[in-house]
Chains A and B, each alone.
Chain A
Amino acid sequence: MQRYLLQKAGGFVLTALLVSVLTFFIVQVLPGDPARLMLGTEGSPESYARLREEMNLDRPALERYVRWAADFFRGRLGNSWRYSLPVRELLASAFPLSLSLAFLAVGVALLAAIPAGMFMAVRPGSYLAQFTSIVTQIGLGLPQFWVGLLLIQLFAVSLGLLPPGGNNGAASLVLPTLTLALPRAAILSRFMRVGMASALQTDYVRTARAKGLPQSTVFFKHALRNGSLAVLTVAGLQFSQLLAGTIVVEQVFGLPGVGQLLLAGVFQRDLPLVQAATMVVVLLILLFDLAFDLCLGLLDPRIRYE
């Protein structure tokens, strides 16, 4: 386990460094003159000179990178240029919403996918299983924002049951959660079906049946454990991808999460904000993946020796 832990942690540090180089390169080096880009045509020569001074643009890129990375990894994220506020504060006010959306979405998706997948595994030929399989295929192909728009049309405009957008209490999270959960439930139920079906063919399930155990015990105690491992893995991956993936849905429903913050930063050329927020999001994704890998290694010793 120690070797596995070291290997994974070392990989994480290397990837994090590479990610910081990439982000810095795109935001600070690729545009040529970031100060000119941020000011656009409106800036006076004085404000341009001040901004260059502030961003240390006269120094070589390598020196600027080292300085920024050293600050960043010590938790100093810098200030947003347009809002004149610390990026840390802006992120702290936006993250709870995005995180709870991601968490709710994966939770709802799992609740729907596990029974659906189990059913498809047990009765593969039935009409209901075929229907579910078609529904999952469609769920995979629908654009998220379109599903969101249709749900607004149905539940907010036509039926008037739920608010069409905004961030006012739990009711306003129902539609965004459903929107995010639908395609994820589709993917998870397929993994559940394949996982359960292959678990049901294993020797130990046959033995359990041969011993005369009741069908439900074999099913829920013996097969379900192994059959749902893959689903949990994929759900973990989905959650980490959702850390950046709520952006489209935030736009549809006008929710002030991390995605909206980033998008505003992009449109206003708030480069310090974009740079820091991107790094935080990607680092969180990497950290979550690391934690998840370690949990899997802890649960399943075979994974450690790959």
Chain B
Amino acid sequence: MDKRRWGAVMIGIILALTVLGYFYTPYDPNEVRIAQRFAPPSLRYPFGTDHFGRDVLSRILVGGGVSLVIGLAAVTLGAACGVTLGLLAGFRGGLGDELFMRISTALQAFPSILWALLLASVWEPGIPVLICSITIGNIPNFLRVTRSQVLSIRKRPYVEAARALGLSDLRIMVRHIVPNLLDALMVQFTVSLAGAILVEASLSYLGIGLQPPYPSWGRILREAQPHAALAPWLVLVPGLFIAITVIGFNLLGDNWIFGREEALIKRIQ
């Protein structure tokens, strides 16, 4: 099997479990049963229970949905902004292009985690902080991909032909340029999703992401750390789910990573 198919299988499994978690969980993910705390994995609790006796499997099923929805929303927003700006910058060029690229460089100087810290210092930690910081972190990537593609596409004969026919800029952009961007953007989108899931998990682990009692994979790990020696399954299982999701998305977008490596190496050698 090639890498992309492996990725598709992994993401398929995660998505199926997430959808399942939306409709059905073996137990109420937030129900506290102190008598059952730190139950090791068994038939009754396949992934054991945590320090409140909550069922880890149920929490993971529900938490996956939260992580995925936040990642999807943030990357979609980032892509919408980045692609729009990239189209304007690449198509028109000139002063606007210069300005957008400068702003994009400034945005890129902050790592996503730093955006989240800045926003969390003035807002309550929670979903808005997560979505905004991941969105801002993604805008420069999409802007750059779109711009570089537009720059190469707009010189092609069929675009010049469209212009000679007197079509408006907007029509040329939407009908003739955007369809050619989709391949590159899809790949960027998948890889960005992997990154977003990782950032969301890290932020929730740091305590500036989702707040209790909502479970997210990062939060489950944050709560598990003090009890790791006593209940290692609490640390093992949620991390495994994050890893499968991230590796899956990375594999799906694998061609892009290689493309980028080759481009860089060509530039240098």
Q: Which residues of A pack against B, CB within 8 Å?
A: 11, 14-15, 18-19, 22-23, 26-27, 30-31, 34, 37, 137-138, 140-146, 149-150, 152-153, 157, 190-191, 194-195, 198-199, 202, 226, 229-230, 233-234, 241, 244-245, 247-248, 251-252, 262-263, 265-267, 269, 271, 274, 278, 281-282, 285-286, 300, 303
Contact = CB atoms under 8 A, between A and B. Distances in A.
Given A145-B202, A248-B202, A137 B247 contact: yes
A248 B235 contact: no
A149 B122 contact: no
B119 interface: yes
Interface of B: 3, 102-103, 105-107, 109-111, 113-114, 117-123, 194, 198, 201-202, 205-208, 218, 221, 224-225, 228-229, 232, 235-236, 238-239, 242-243, 246-247, 250-251, 257-258, 261-262, 264-265, 268-269
A33 to B, nearest CB: 11
Contacts of A195: 265, 268-269
A141 B250 contact: yes
Contacts of B113: 244-245, 247-248
Main secondary structure of the interface of A (DSSP, over half): helix
Main secondary structure of the interface of B (DSSP, over half): helix
Contacts of B228: 149, 152-153, 157
Given A141-B243, A199-B269, A230-B268, 15 more contacts: A37-B122, A140-B246, A142-B243, A143-B242, A145-B202, A146-B235, A190-B261, A191-B261, A191-B265, A194-B262, A244-B111, A244-B114, A247-B113, A247-B117, A282-B110
Contact of A278 (B118, B123, B243, B257): B118
A229 B266 CA distance: 11
Contacts of B251: 137
A248 B247 CA distance: 20
A160 B262 CA distance: 43
A263 B262 contact: no
Contacts of B198: 143
Contacts of A245: 111, 113
Nearest to B225: A149
26 contacts: A14-B102, A15-B105, A19-B109, A22-B110, A26-B118, A31-B122, A34-B122, A141-B194, A143-B198, A143-B243, A144-B202, A146-B238, A146-B243, A149-B225, A149-B239, A150-B236, A150-B239, A191-B264, A194-B261, A229-B269, A230-B261, A230-B264, A245-B113, A252-B225, A263-B208, A265-B121
A194 to B, nearest CB: 5
A149 B221 contact: yes
B104 to A, nearest CB: 10
A75 B264 CA distance: 37
Given A15-B105, A18-B106, A146-B242, A233 B114 contact: no
Contacts of B264: 191, 230, 233-234
The 3 closest A-B pairs by CB, nearest first: A146-B239, A141-B247, A18-B106
A234 B258 CA distance: 14
Contact of A271 (B121, B236, B262): B121
Given A11-B105, A15-B106, A138 B247 contact: yes
Nearest to A250: B206
A271 B117 CA distance: 11
Contact of A143 (B121, B201, B268, B269): B201
Contacts of B208: 263, 266
A263 B206 contact: yes
Given A140-B250, A153-B228, A157-B229, A26 B111 contact: no
A252 B202 CA distance: 11
Interface centre among B3, B103, B118 (most CB of A within 10 A): B118
Nearest to A140: B250
Contacts of B229: 153, 157
Nearest to A263: B206
B240 to A, nearest CB: 8
Contacts of B265: 191, 194-195, 198, 230
A161 to B, nearest CB: 15
B160 to A, nearest CB: 26
